[in-house]
Chain A
Amino acid sequence: MASHQHLPNVVVDDDDDLVLAAAGGIRGGLMGSSQQLGGGLLVDLHASYLATSASVEASTTVFELAAASHLRMSGAYWGLCALSLIRKTNAMDINALVEWVASCQHSDSGGFGADTNHDAHILYTLSAVQILAIVDRMDAIDVKAAADYVAARQCADGSFTGDEWGERDTRFSYCAVSCLALLGRLDAIDVDAATTHVMSCMNFDGGFGCVPGGESHAGQVFTGVGALSIIDPQLRMLSEAQKRTMAAWLAERQTSKGGFNGRPEKLPDVCYSWWVLSALACLGKLHYIDGSKLRAFVLGCQNDERGGISDRPDDEADVYHTFFGIAGLSLLGLDTDVVDAVDARFALPEKVVERILLR
């Protein structure tokens, strides 16, 4: 392992977040002492942590949340989806949420901003659609305009831009494919070109980078294999050798601490519980890693006083890691008494995906 892991008291900046800055944690002392100690998932504490983080009041008075306004739509999706997985959506005001989501759709382009008055971007367009998918309220927005916005992001080489300013990234390929599949509009893009582009971002280690030649990291691997899995759940565009290399690289992300890192020789981080596991699930290789050790690592990152899950033990919790920790536990299937099943390709509750795809 990297030598810096052995150095105590050194803060190593190790964040390679896929969607960047995590929505901040609640710093107010809102919870009483834990009622659920004993090694399991602190469901009630997390529910109240997530619900409070999502409140309008907190978003104006808690600095970390106010400063996360630029990704608030994703924060709302993480929070809602986590609550849905632990069966606590009643902790949220769904009508107010839907109204706010709809208010973030731009009437000119059809895309969604991260918050009211923020510019539209494909990242937040996907988050908005995911939220509405969970609560089954797609009627609240102009679906055709949203699909047109996403389709208009595709370039001649099959790649996707995030917005009108032209940044291209396989994250945006995933956003496009996932979003359009949820809207029932995959026909709006050139799926073969999208596939070819994602494949051109495959690397020597079997993973995917942001662009051709970009280094693999586990989050990016999920976007690649997730997009390809939505296009073809059998992943027939990948050779057996490619699948094997990719799965081995993903399995090798598990560190001796049980948690996963995002790239070789990096520290473990709860969010990769999701990125690595979901990619392994797409490949049908969840048995390549030690699930119970991973579970222990995630549970050890819970804040047992105020709720929420952090990147590593004893760090401050946030909504992003809380969601990816819970979603990772869901894929492991060791806590089915308190966590619903998640769909690895869409990062949504399985029952939501079934409802939409069977429609």
Chain B
Amino acid sequence: MHGRRRVSASLASSPEFLEQSAAKAKSYRALLGAVLQASAAKSYLDKQIALSAKLCELNPEAATSWNYRKRATLANHNSENTPIGELPADLRVSVAEAELTVSEAALKRNPKSYCAWYHRRWVLDTWIGKDFAVKPFDAVLERECTLTEQFLSLDPRNFHGWGYRRYLAEFVGETPETELAFSRRLIERDLSNYSAWHHRSAVLPACHGSAAIGGGDAESESRWRGTMGAMSAAATHIPADTLLEEQDLWFQAAVTEPADQAAWVYARWVSGLGSRLEDPEARARVREKDVKQAREVLALEPDATWALVHLANALAAPLDASEADREEARRLYAQLAEVDVDRSGMYEEWARTL
């Protein structure tokens, strides 16, 4: 486990310590054994299902216990294998809520449990599906949005929480503009929130491509998916004016905390998009702003590593660098090899291949 403080050798070998550990192991094994046995026997009695809830809460990564619960919902509430949409709405809501409650308890113990987060998706996909917008299903979705916000405020870097948020956004056909605004809100709350910068990079292309995220129809869903991931072709179609605005955003962060990596990684991406613009004049505007802003940060902190890297890379842009630019970039890489000595091998290589 992570962050568990080391126990001294004398304590670890004391009889009390060993006995306590053995007793806990025994009780855990008894619980696990009971759930595995029920699972193997395909037996879904209330008391067995309750034991699996206990196990999921105690160890949110016990995958077989979650699988058992999924099977139990289907065996107990849909043994005829009816299309779920034809089952009574109240039943569907109550099954979903019971499972979401177990998952929530598990996430409180381990907010980064893959199994517990995925259980929520499975429940929504299987038991709610496309009916999420109508009563009584809308309340379930409402709860999911609230829960996601809660987990992201507890830990704004929890990538599982972010992933679930993107899933919900797709599920309900949220617009990318909403998500873009959300990313801005979180960035402004904490300029160092790399997850929020990432989110911005994932939704910005969609704001300049497809109109909606998901929306339930297969075509728009695939368009949204197609624009997810900034290296996709759509990403290169972001207009220069937008890139210039994004440069304002990263500058605000970089000038506040030049040593923080988050905004600089975003800056690198925006810069790369600028360097791929077809119009040379538009390309120059983005590049000149990159150079100007990096120099402004360096005026405040002459050895700011990430500003040096950004300036050197902007100057070295293959399509537009003059010989003087390349010369300055080489000098900057040489300076970097000294101020950021751990990565000197990288800077030396970049200088060599310029």
Contact = CB atoms under 8 A, between A and B. Distances in A.
A352 interface: no
A287 to B, nearest CB: 4
Interface in A320-345: none
A61 B198 contact: no
Interface in A254-281: 254, 263-266, 269
A17 B39 CA distance: 27
B29 A66 contact: yes
A15 B7 contact: no
Nearest to B193: A265
Given A203-B229, A204-B198, A69 B63 contact: no
A213 B228 contact: yes
Nearest to B348: A287
Given A70-B63, A117-B40, A15 B122 contact: no
A8 interface: no
Interface in B11-45: 12-14, 17-18, 21-22, 24-26, 28-29, 32, 36-37, 39-40
B2 A205 contact: no
Given A28-B13, A165-B122, A13 B198 contact: no
Q: Interface size for chain A: under 10, 10 to 19, 20 to 34, or 35 or more residues? A: 35 or more
Given A62-B21, A69-B32, A254-B342, A200 B192 contact: no
A166 interface: yes
Contacts of B354: none
Nearest to A239: B231
A215 B195 contact: yes
B286 interface: no
Contacts, number: 232
B265 A264 contact: yes
A202 B192 CA distance: 22
Contact of A13 (B155, B265, B349): B155
A294 B218 CA distance: 47
Contacts of B14: 29
B1 A16 contact: no
A118 interface: yes
Contact of A65 (B17, B25, B157, B342): B25
Contacts of B110: 21
Contacts of B201: 203-205
A35 interface: no
A166 B12 contact: no
A118 B63 contact: yes
A209 B195 CA distance: 12
B9 interface: yes
Contacts of A140: none
B194 interface: yes
Interface residues of B, number: 79
B112 interface: yes
B135 interface: no
Contacts of A62: 21-22, 25
A7 interface: no
Nearest to B33: A117
Contacts of B166: 213-214
A63 B59 contact: no
A214 B163 contact: yes
Contacts of B7: 27, 316
A314 interface: yes
Q: Which one of B6, B21, B192, B272 has the highest number of Cβ atoms from chain A below 10 Å of its Cβ?
A: B6
A66 B58 CA distance: 13
Contacts of B159: 16, 209-210, 214-215, 217, 263
Contacts of A163: 63, 67
Contacts of A103: none
A221 interface: no
Given A165-B122, A242-B231, 8 more contacts: A20-B112, A22-B2, A118-B36, A211-B163, A264-B194, A290-B343, A303-B6, A316-B1
19 contacts: A14-B2, A24-B1, A27-B12, A70-B64, A114-B63, A117-B39, A163-B67, A165-B118, A200-B229, A203-B201, A214-B162, A265-B192, A266-B157, A288-B345, A289-B342, A310-B4, A310-B6, A314-B6, A316-B1
Interface of A: 1-2, 11-17, 20-22, 24, 27-31, 60-67, 69-71, 113-114, 117-119, 121, 163, 165-167, 169, 199-206, 209-217, 241-242, 245, 247-249, 251-252, 254, 263-266, 269, 285, 287-290, 293, 303, 305-306, 310-312, 314-318
Interface of B: 1-10, 12-14, 17-18, 21-22, 24-26, 28-29, 32, 36-37, 39-40, 59, 61-64, 67, 70, 110-114, 118, 121-122, 125, 155, 157, 159, 162-163, 166, 192, 194-195, 198-199, 201-202, 225-226, 228-232, 235, 259-262, 265-266, 268-269, 272, 341-343, 345-346, 349
